[in-house]
């Protein structure tokens, strides 16, 4: 399937972005990504903040104001504005589940999560997790598996320094984006 950039009309190329297959426009640096992969990229902490900042600046492309057509099915894409600190518009195709991100926005999406306190905490947990020995990691996985699905209101989960909210962010942050060695 040949797909063209919704802005420049040049052909999109298949590339890997932080290990995830995506489509890229070499001219405007925009990315076409499945919604699921965008979420995995958003939650991954593989790159240092400085590098993400650099990508944001170097590849910055103004948010496209006009309605774009989906490179996959040519239907009109829907705009979705993201809350601060991301603060830009995504272009979505509900039929193909594709998302178009203008140049620099994929990096901005990750930066926004790093700035968010919960995201920061999750990043720290993920970093610790990756540094653990396989034995400790297996132990942690076992402990996480034993956690109840939801905690009763106002109940202290106990068992250590991490509160329920931290566990929740750890669970959501650790698993989807994580590629185990």
**Are 111 and 53 spatial neighbours (Cβ–Cβ below 8 Å)?**
yes
Residue 15 interacts with Zn ion (CB under 5 A): yes or no? no
Chain positions 126 to 145 lying near Zn ion, rule: CB under 5 A, are: none
* Span near Zn ion by CB under 5 A; candidates 1-9, 117-125, 137-145, 155-163: 1-9
DSSP string computed for 130-153: HHS-HHHHHHHHHHHHHS-SSPPT
* Selected binder of Zn ion within 22, 28, 122, 173 (CB under 5 A): 28
Nearest one of 51, 53, 52, 17 to 37, comparing CA atoms: 17
- Quote the least distance from Cβ 78 to Zn ion, whole Å: 10
**Are 43 and 113 spatial neighbours (Cβ–Cβ below 8 Å)?**
yes
> If you compute the radius of gyration of the chain from its CA atoms, what whole number of angstroms results?
19
* Selected binder of Zn ion within 3, 22, 25, 90 (CB under 5 A): 25
- Let me know the angle formed at the C-alpha of 172 by 169 and 83, rounded to the nearest 5 degrees: 75
Task: Between 28 and 38, name the residue whose CB sits nearer to Zn ion.
Answer: 28
* Span near Zn ion by CB under 5 A; candidates 73-81, 108-116, 144-152, 169-177: 73-81
Cα–Cα distance, 92 to 23 (Å, whole number): 15
Residue 70 interacts with Zn ion (CB under 5 A): yes or no? yes
Contact characters 91-130, Zn ion, x per CB under 5 A = --x-xx----------------------------------
Task: Between 74 and 127, name the residue whose CB sits nearer to Zn ion.
Answer: 74
Residue with tokens 């720290």, as numbered in its chain? 124
**What tokens were used for 24?**
């890229």
Q: Please give the residue ranges that form the binding site for Zn ion (CB under 5 A).
A: 5, 7-8, 25, 27-28, 70, 72-73, 93, 95-96
């Amino acid at each position: 399937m040949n797909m063209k950039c919704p802005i420049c009309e040049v052909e999109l190329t298949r590339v890997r972005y932080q290990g995830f297959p995506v489509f890229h426009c070499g001219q405007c640096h925009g990315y076409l990504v499945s919604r699921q992969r965008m979420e995995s990229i958003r939650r991954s902490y593989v790159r240092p903040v400085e590098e993400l900042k650099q990508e944001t600046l170097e590849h910055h492309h103004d948010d496209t104001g006009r309605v774009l057509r989906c490179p996959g099915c040519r239907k009109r894409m829907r705009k979705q504005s993201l809350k601060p600190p991301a603060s830009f518009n995504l272009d979505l195709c509900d039929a193909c589940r594709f998302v178009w991100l203008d140049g620099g926005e994929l990096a901005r999406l990750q930066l926004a999560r790093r700035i968010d306190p919960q995201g920061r905490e999750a990043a720290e947990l993920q970093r610790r997790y990756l540094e653990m020995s396989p034995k400790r990691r297996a132990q942690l996985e076992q402990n996480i598996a034993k956690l109840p699905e939801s905690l009763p209101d106002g109940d202290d989960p106990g068992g250590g320094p991490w509160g329920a909210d931290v566990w929740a962010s750890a669970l959501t942050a650790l698993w989807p984006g994580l590629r185990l060695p």
